[in-house]
Amino acid sequence: MRPLAGTSLSDQALTQGEALTTSWRVKAEYAWDTGAAVGKFLAGLKEGKVLGVQCSGCERTLIPPRAFCELCFAPIDRWVELSGTGVINTFSVSFVNWDATRRDTPEIPAVIEIDGASPGLGILHVLGEVGEDLPTVLSKVAIGKRVQAVWKPQSEREGAITDIRYFKLVG
């Protein structure tokens, strides 16, 4: 068989200039309109409220809120206030940053099923006050445990998902 094509370069080949490169930095910025449904949800967060929507077709109470139900394919305009409490659906303990550099203290992302929403419907957020190393976090956090939102002070809220600083274990 003929050998496969492809020339593998070492990192050193680049850093030592053995292979030529040319580089470019993207210059781009975006500002997204938050839309009808998410905009109202974010406005609710600013007031310290977690809002959901109800579909009159399938009767689900949905979070994140949306302007239409993807199951019934019908518009939604019924809003309900949910609570800032819920249950851990799943979680991770992450030691990696977006650029693949490592962190000493982990971030703890979790899917949290919000109380008052239909079963299994959650949002992504992070957990806090659960330890700063893997064994400690794993000894405290488990799927099914109850959590509550820890809010920023009202004066610091800006209508963003980060108006909830994190969720912490209840009790």
Partner 1 sequence: MPYKNRVAVLGAGLTRFMRRALETPKELAFQAASAALRDASLTISDVDCVVGITAPDAFDGVHMNAEYFADGAGARGKPYMRSYVGGGSGVFGVINGWYHVASGDFDTCLVVAEEKMSSALPHPQGAFNAIYDQFLERPLGVNLLWIFALEMNRYMSAHGVPMETFAQVARKNKLNGMDHPSSQSGISGDFSIEEIMDSEVMAWPVQRLMVSPVSDGAGAMLLASEEFVKKRGLDPVWIEGVGWNLDTSYWTNRDLYYPRYLEKAALMAYDMAGVTDPRKEIHVVEPYDPFAYKELHHLEGLQLADKGQAPRLVEKGFWDRDTLAGIPATPSGGLIGVGNPIAAAGMMKVAEIYWQLEGRAGKRQVRREARRGLAQAWGDLMQVGTVVILGK
Q: Among residues 53, 121, 147, 149, which is the contact residue for partner 1, using CB under 8 A?
A: 121
Please compute, for residue 137, the number of CA atoms within 13 A of its CA located in the half-sphere on the CB side.
19
Given the DSSP bridges, would you call strands 78-82 and 102-107 parallel, antiparallel or unpaired?
Answer: unpaired
Question: Going residue by residue from 60 to 99, which x/- string records binding to partner 1, judged by CB under 8 A?
Answer: --x-x-x---x------------------xxxxxxxxxxx
CB of 63 to partner 1, least distance (A): 8
Considering CB under 8 A, how many residues would be counted as binding partner 1? Answer: 58
State how far the alpha carbon of 16 is from the alpha carbons of 6, 9, 10, 12, 44, in Å. 21, 12, 10, 6, 54
Which residue among 16, 17, 24, 27 contacts partner 1 (CB under 8 A)?
Answer: 24
Is residue 1 part of the contact set for partner 1 (CB under 8 A)? yes
Three-class DSSP category at 154 = helix
129 token code pair: 């006050």
Position 136 contacts partner 1 (CB under 8 A): no
Question: Which residues on adjacent β-strands are paired with residue 126?
Answer: 109
Query: Distance (Å, rounded) from C-alpha 159 to C-alpha 40?
Result: 9
Binding site for partner 1 (CB under 8 A): 1-11, 13-14, 19, 23-24, 26, 30, 32, 34-35, 38, 42, 62, 64, 66, 70, 89-101, 106-107, 109-111, 120-126, 134, 138, 143, 160-162
